[in-house]
Structure 1
Amino acid sequence: MVRLGEHYLVELARCDSRVLSDSDSVENILLRACKEANAHRVDHNFYSMPDKSVSGVIVIEESHLSIHTFPEQEYAVADFFTCSDAVNEEKGIAYLAEKLGSGNYGFSRLERGLLPYHEIKIPKEAKAGPEVADAPTALSHVILDAWGINPAKLGKKEKIEKPFLEAVRSSGQTILYHNFHDFPVNGASGFVLGDKFHATVHDWPEHGYTAIDIMAREGKVDANKIVSSLLSQLQPRYNIKTSLERGSLYSPGYNTHINAW
């Protein structure tokens, strides 16, 4: 069965804390990682937070590359979502790990859009080494795949931007940056960035399918409220929601729930 997208969940431990706390350095490294992967930048934004952490995203034609850093723990989490076989995600991830000075990193690959079920492949060990005990495990990542949506609700950024922003704001999350754009051929994509928070949406109107992701510190954002708001607006025939705990280097825990409407 053909996948519609690939989503890499990256955990980077024992990084250089000086690099992780420098927004310019993190930005330049991610931009170069994007080039190394043969991805094509549309826009980007990076923010320094009061605790010296950095949150940032590169919106690419193929989807997005994002990062959240934790200098005190010498740790970072990144996501690389693409829908093009021409992108070499693993090359970009290897560059990112090298330049962040990661002494230990790993990633999992999630194939998105498989019908009737997507497949998560874990773990993929990129570099050998022990798991880090003090990783910032209080991170949650909700992955939502929805099928059977009326194509008239998808395919253009103006159709998804307003409902998506309303759903994020309904959770009480402060939005630092957002970008929505149309794909060159068909479909639309959007990214919302906050402090150690991001939410993304990518749609394929020809399949009546939408891929949604919400990552945040546990207890800070009600991801289920965002999901409920989006489902009520999109009205998919059925959806799969996967909940992951980020911060575990090789084996992110996850629970999957399938809902038919």
Structure 2
Amino acid sequence: MEATGVIGQHFIVDAYDCNASVIDCADEVKSLILESLRELRLEILMAYFHTFSPQGVTGTIVISSSHFSIHTWPEYRYTALDLYTCSHQDVWNVLQRFLRKIGARRVFMHEIPRGHKSRIFSGNESIREPGKPLHVTNKERGNESDMKVLKELINGKHNILYRGFSGFQDILLVEGKDLRLYLNDELQFSSLDERYYHEALVFPAMELAKARKRILILGGGDGLALREILKYTDVAHVDLVDIDPVMIRLAKDEPALAAINAGSLWDSRVKVHIMDAMEYLKKTMEGYDVIIVDFPDPADPTTSLLYTKELFIGAGRHLNAGGVVSCQSNSPRDTPRVYWSIAKTLNTAGFKTKAYYTVVPSFGVWGFHLASRENIMKIIPDISVPHRAIDSNLEKLFHLPPSLQPPKTGLISNCIKALKLHVIYQKEINQF
């Protein structure tokens, strides 16, 4: 429903490839913002800026019509901006000039009309703006079980190591008897059993690939899949692509998380790319022997885009002969149509696939797909590196019982023009 009139403009901006020296200087950043606000003739009430050690700037300026806040990561050349104003002026043109001054070469902007012309969401719609959505609606957040546990963790006497919004997702890293990571209120891992997931995700592809010299990880910013990959001594180079600089910073610098991932992001063989996976796959580069797809569940349009035919085709362009892709694919028990639709999408992208699963105590039955342009070997080699959770005999993972076989109806091939995987996910995850 709508009424006439707009009582506010809200801009959320993610700026990439900025001038690192500019965004690492609090005085310069403050001066540029004040210059922009004066250009808009907005009344400035208060300004506070802080410089972090060894680098980074955070700042907030209170204006009579609301606020302008900024946070910078010079080491990643990334800046997050938030401007809300009740002014009716052309704010975006002034913001663009500010972004040019800090050297931003790539920008995702979300403009949210506030007030009477704001859309009112019923709970089954998702916010879709140019670039990346700001958030997902409550219905698209963590499942009911995760939400109950999360509520107890927050209200109980547990050590919250990090809690905040990165510009891409809500992040909560909490330490109790275990270490848990939540993204958008949905559990990503518990340190008690995450190895069941990460060993199953990584080892089949690594053992089946013709070579293991060059590896690509899409997602996996927590460094846990990377930890397993680096156990192979013939790995010469790993590119890890994750869009969230806050997640990468936590994985590298938060002692509790770095201890679990064995400091994998500091390994000299690893190069981290803070960027969108689809954009990375458009680049020209040397091919990969193994590609690990470790994205969050397709719970909303943004994450659904990570499981499209277009993305899988992009990955296939960079896969060497004899190369293997491993893709986390949700639960074949709880979300069977999501699980098998991911396989169908991989097939339409030109891959031959092989389904498998394991049991992760925190999640139950969890599924994966191997994908290759060639036929995948019928006999899966045993694990050849140290491991702790799953059995050395990987063959056991590939024997799906009758209850996990594909549904006869309701499967789709997910693509950008017909983005439906998140719709199926929400129907299946909320039926329990």
Instruction: Give TM-score, length-normalised by structure 2.
Output: 0.31
Larger Rg: 2
Q: Which has the higher strand share?
A: 1
Instruction: Give TM-score, length-normalised by structure 1.
Output: 0.49
Q: Which has the higher helix share?
A: 2
Q: Which is bigger in relative contact order (C-alpha 8 A, separation at least 6)? A: 1
